Amino acid sequence: MTTRSPVAPELSAIEVRGTTRGAFLMRGALAVGAAYGAGTVGPFVTQALAQAGQGNPRGAGDIEILNFALTLEWLEAFYYQRALKAVNMSSETKALAQEIETNEFEHAKFLNGAIKSLGGKPVPQPEVSFPFAGESKFLQLAQTFEDTGVMAYNGAAPLIEAKDVLANAGRIVQVEGRHAAGIRMLRGQNPAEAAFDGVLEFQEVVRRVKPFLDTLPFSFRQEELPRGAQQGDSSYF
C-alpha cells in the first residue's frame, strides 16, 4: 500500500509507504530475507502478523521500530568513535565528529532504556567494520549515515503508536538532520538537498548499512553472518 503525502503537488514526491504497521513489518521481514537468505524471515513474519492483529499489547510494534533505530544509532556511534582514533582530521572536523559522537551514544543509550521501559528486549550492539582512509572519505560516509538516519526515522515515525515515543523520535531525528547539515557544510555541499526530506523504507536502510554490519543484530536474528559477505561495498557512494 502506498499513500501519497497530501494533496499539494509539491509534497507528492514524498511517499509514505506501508502506513499500516503490518505492511511496514512485512516489508522489513522480506527485505531482511532477501538480503540474508530466506531462512531468516520465518520468525519475524510470524511476529509481525501477530502484532498487526487486534488485542495485542500496545506498543509492541513501537519496540520493533525502536530496535531498528537502535541498530542505526550504534552503527553511527561506533563510526565516529573509531574514526576519531583512525582518521587524521582537521580541528574543525574533529570538533564536529566529537559533538556528533556524543549525541549518537546518547541516542543509543536512550533507545536502549526506552525499549526496556516498554517491556522489550534491546538488540545487542552490532559488530561493525568501516573502511577508514582520509578525512574526505570519512566525511563522505558520515553524510551517507546521517542522511540515511534522517530518512529512516522520517519513514518510521508515522507508524509509531505512542505519542511520547513519537515525540522522542522527533527529538532525535531533528538532531540527525542537524548532523547531516554539519557534515554537508564541511564537504562544501548544500545543507539540504531539497525542500522536503524523503523517507526510506526498512529495506533500503538495510541495503545501505549492510556493508558495515558484521552481525545482523535485530531481535529476530542474532547469529553471525559470514564475514566475507560484509566487506566494504562502496558502490553506491
Partner 1 sequence: MSQSEVQDERPPGPSAMERLMDDPSSRKRFLTKLGGTFGAGAVAAFAAACGAADKTFPNQRSPEANKNPQFGGGTKFGEGDTGIVNFALYLEYFESDFYDLINNSGLLSGKFYSISRQIEEKEREHLEALRDTAKQMGTQPIKKPKTKFPVESQPQILKLAVTIENTGPAAYLGQAPRIQEAEILASALAIHTVEARQAAALNMLHRKKITPDGAFARPRDMATVLKGVAPYIVG
Taking the CA atoms of 187, 79, 226 and 71 in sequence, report the sign of the dihedral they define: negative
69/225 with CB nearer partner 1? 69
Q: Is 234 in the site for partner 1 (CB under 8 A)?
A: no
Measured torsion, CA atoms of residues 87, 92, 94, 97, in degrees rounded to the nearest 10: -110
Contact 78, 129 (CB under 8 A): no
SS3 236: coil
Q: Is 172 in the site for partner 1 (CB under 8 A)?
A: yes
Q: Which of 28, 122, 126, 182 binds partner 1 (CB under 8 A)?
A: 182
Q: Report how many residues bind partner 1 under the rule CB under 8 A.
A: 73
Minimum CB separation from partner 1 for residue 112, in Å?
8
Minimum CB separation from partner 1 for residue 124, in Å?
15
Q: Is 179 in the site for partner 1 (CB under 8 A)?
A: yes
**The residue type at 52:** A
- Among positions 38-57, residues that touch partner 1 (CB under 8 A) are 52, 54-57
- Among positions 65-124, residues that touch partner 1 (CB under 8 A) are 96, 99, 102-104, 106-107, 109-110, 113-114, 117-119
Minimum CB separation from partner 1 for residue 233, in Å?
26
**Which residues, in sequence order, are bridge partners of residue 215?**
224
The number of CA neighbours under 13 Å toward the Cβ of 178 is: 12
Q: Is 231 in the site for partner 1 (CB under 8 A)?
A: no
Minimum CB separation from partner 1 for residue 162, in Å?
4
Q: Which of 194, 224, 226, 236 binds partner 1 (CB under 8 A)?
A: 194
Q: Supply φ then ψ for residue 106, to 5 degrees.
A: -65, -40
User: 105: which 3 cell numbers?
Assistant: 551514544
- Locus of grid cell 548544500: 190
Contact 112, 74 (CB under 8 A): no
Minimum CB separation from partner 1 for residue 215, in Å?
22
Q: Which of 21, 44, 83, 221 binds partner 1 (CB under 8 A)?
A: 21
Minimum CB separation from partner 1 for residue 37, in Å?
31
Whole-angstrom CA distances from 44 to 33, 73, 133, 236 are 10, 22, 37, 28
Q: Is 228 in the site for partner 1 (CB under 8 A)?
A: no
- Residues making up the chain, counted from first to last: 237
Q: Is 178 in the site for partner 1 (CB under 8 A)?
A: yes
